[in-house]
């Protein structure tokens, strides 16, 4: 990744953290207390203005964790 792209990404990350401090703290707490081991259930809810909520959940599988590890290796 070229330096300009890295700087842009860092600036966007910092802006996200500034705009959403509670979400960042939540994610940090999740990973501080054991991360997302196999069997963990992740629930999501999206509420768009003027629309009904959309909800979904997933149980973390061993293959999901393998995918995350492979993606981490690509980023190095």
Note the pLDDT tens digit of each residue in 55-76: 999 999 999 999 988 988 887 6
CB 37 within 8 A of CB 60: yes
Alpha helices in 1-76 (DSSP H): 3-19, 21-32, 62-75
CB 1 within 8 A of CB 7: no
Q: What is the pLDDT of residue 72?
A: 84
Closest by Cα among 25, 22, 64 to 42: 64
Q: Which two tokens stand for residue 51?
A: 């629309």
Strand-pair category, 54-59 with 41-46: antiparallel
Mean pLDDT of 8-25: 96
Q: What is the pLDDT of residue 76?
A: 64
pTM metric for this prediction: 0.72
Greater confidence (18 vs 69) lies with: 18
């Amino acid at each position: 990744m070229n330096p300009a792209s890295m700087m842009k990404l860092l600036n966007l990350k910092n802006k996200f953290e500034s705009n959403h401090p509670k979400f960042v703290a939540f994610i940090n707490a999740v990973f501080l207390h054991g991360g997302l081991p196999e069997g963990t259930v992740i629930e999501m809810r999206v509420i768009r203005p003027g629309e009904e909520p959309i909800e979904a959940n997933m149980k973390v599988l061993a293959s999901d964790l393998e995918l995350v590890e492979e993606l981490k290796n690509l980023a190095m």
